[in-house]
Amino acid sequence: MNINVFKDYDELSEKTAEFIADFVKTKTDARLCLAAGDTPTGTFKNMVGLSKEGRASFSGCTFVGLDEWVGMDENDEGSCKNYVYNNLFIPLAVKKSKIVFFDACADNLEAECRRIDDYIKNNGPIDLMLVGIGMNGHIGLNEPGVSFDSYSHIVKLDPVTKNVGQKYFKEKTDLEMGITLGIRHLMESKCAILIANGTKKAEIIRKVVKGEVTNKIPASILQRHKNCYLFLDKDAASMLDI
């Protein structure tokens, strides 16, 4: 793991966006998978800023969705798709032909998993994945106990995820199932970036970096990734002794 620690969330977001922009300059048709959630918000804002300033272009990139709450789409406020559209795709004017997401409202979710798997198999691997980390160590919706050999799959959400996920909704929302890329997609990606900020993430980051590799903490598998970066603010890195 290549660990990078920044003074605060703003610097973390700025440097993450610059890293992605520099990556895309070397591969203008990069296939990117960028997580939804609170943590990437600043990164997306900076990516949009770099694009508007003419310092970066993402027009040649294809964007692959990481995960989604089952039963939701881009019209549902609080969905992953809605978040990425509003914070990145619409500001960047990304063409729909450049967006490959799960249809979490599909009648046959297993077929959706196979569709996305086939797309990545035929066009991939993913060049760069930007992921956050849950309080339980999940990546995407790969919950504790997930198989490290998994590709896309449907998952019963962990109680921690169901509870924390409520922050994305104005009213209490029934969250039971998710659909997500698998750990093998993450491990086969050419570059993986894990971002985290705040003291509340310090303990789980310590376990990911210093602890054993175990599916009880899915993100710990990144210790074995061939090209992995941790981008942390000083609070998230406070238990690493670095």
Active site residue 143: yes
Torsion 207-208-213-219 (CA) sign: positive
Active site residue 138: yes
Which of 68, 127, 138, 233 is labelled catalytic?
138
Q: Distance between CA 11 and CA 9 in Å, rounded?
A: 6
Which of 10, 38, 103, 136 is labelled catalytic?
136
Which of 143, 158, 188, 235 is labelled catalytic?
143
Q: Distance between CA 160 and CA 135 in Å, rounded?
A: 7
Which of 14, 46, 67, 158 is labelled catalytic?
67
188 Cβ contact list (under 8 Å, min separation 6): 124, 125, 126
Classify burial at 148, counting beta carbons within 10 Å of its beta carbon; exposed 0-12, middle 13-18, buried 19 or more. Answer: middle
Q: Distance between CA 147 and CA 214 in Å, rounded?
A: 10
Classify burial at 240, counting beta carbons within 10 Å of its beta carbon; exposed 0-12, middle 13-18, buried 19 or more. Answer: middle
By annotation, the residues acting in catalysis are 67, 136, 138, 143
